[in-house]
Amino acid sequence: MDEAEARKPLVVRMRERLVLDRVRPLLDEGEEVTAWAHVVDETDGDTGVFSVTETRCVLEWDVGAAQSAVMTVRWSELDAVAVDHESARWPLLRLEGTHEAIRVRLPLSSGARARKASRLLHRIAEHAPAHLVDSERLRRGRPAEFTADRRGVRGHLRRMLVTVAGVLVILLGGVFASPFVPGPGALTTLFGLAILAREYDWAGEVHEWMRQKVDAFLQRRRRRRASGGRRAARSVDTPAVPGQPDGAV
């Protein structure tokens, strides 16, 4: 762990690990993420994680997205890159590659998201071909500086309602997880995290991590049931040998 990484609070390092554990299986050996940020699809609101390495950018959409789960553009194949901050509430990042085109919004709903968006554009400007990154928002040696959106009364009310609803559902999941109260505790907790993820990045990251763990558990259980069924079928089909118990060979 380098000095800059060691200075980060433990909670921040844990959050980054949850995100980067999703991205690392998509990378080549020795490839490292230099910056990442949460992004939103410009049309349907799907969410994902946009990561930058020294050789390419990688966009992984969350489960349920309408697009293919993973999109990637290598810097050597990049034809155009631009940032439009005037057409809508959040900046629109566009990357046009030889084989792929990426168009995403950079959410600025919190100070942490604004800082990550600024760092992401700074890294893109460093890695992309020099002739493509000479603009007001995207220029080498001068990182973009975004500021968080100001919340109005409606925004604060929405955050409060989402927080209360999400916490109540998670508490309900904890009750269902009790050995004294039968119920789908893990699934209820997942639902509560999905509610909180509408306002809190950390909830989305924990939700994705927990969802992967639940999926892996269900797959293992299905495999055990399938293997148990095959063993039972073989024991029924095996002819009995005289003098031995049924099913013995």
pLDDT band, very low/low/confident/very high, at 243 (cuts 50, 70, 90)? low
**Quick one: 112 and 162 in the same domain?**
no
pLDDT reported for residue 223: 82
Final residue in a domain of this structure, among 103, 132, 161: 132
206's tokens: 């924990």
Structural domain harbouring 226: 153-236
Check which CATH number belongs to the domain holding 102 and give it: 2.30.29.30
**What order do you get walking across the sheet with 47-52 strand by strand?**
70-74, 56-61, 47-52, 35-41, 101-105, 92-97, 78-84
Mean pLDDT lowest for which of 39-43, 55-59, 170-174, 178-182?
Answer: 178-182
**Quick one: 31 and 64 in the same domain?**
yes
* DSSP string computed for 156-178: HHHHHHHHHHHHHHHHHHHHHTS
**Quick one: 172 and 115 in the same domain?**
no
**Quick one: 186 and 124 in the same domain?**
no
What digits encode the pLDDT tens for the residues 77-106? 999 888 887 655 788 899 999 888 999 999
Rounded distance, CA 22 to CA 54, Å?
A: 18
Rounded distance, CA 117 to CA 105, Å?
A: 10
Q: Is residue 243 a part of any domain in this protein?
A: no
CB 93 within 8 A of CB 26: no
CA angle centred on 82, ends 150 and 66, rounded to 5°:
75
Q: Across-strand partners of 37?
A: 50
What digits encode the pLDDT tens for the residues 41-61? 888 778 888 999 999 999 988
pLDDT reported for residue 249: 43
Final residue in a domain of this structure, among 132, 167, 190: 132
pLDDT band, very low/low/confident/very high, at 236 (cuts 50, 70, 90)? low
Q: What is the pTM of this model?
A: 0.68
3 state SS of 104: strand
**Quick one: 31 and 92 in the same domain?**
yes
Q: Is residue 165 a part of any domain in this protein?
A: yes
The residue to which tokens 């071909």 are assigned: 129
**Quick one: 204 and 109 in the same domain?**
no
Rounded distance, CA 183 to CA 178, Å?
A: 8
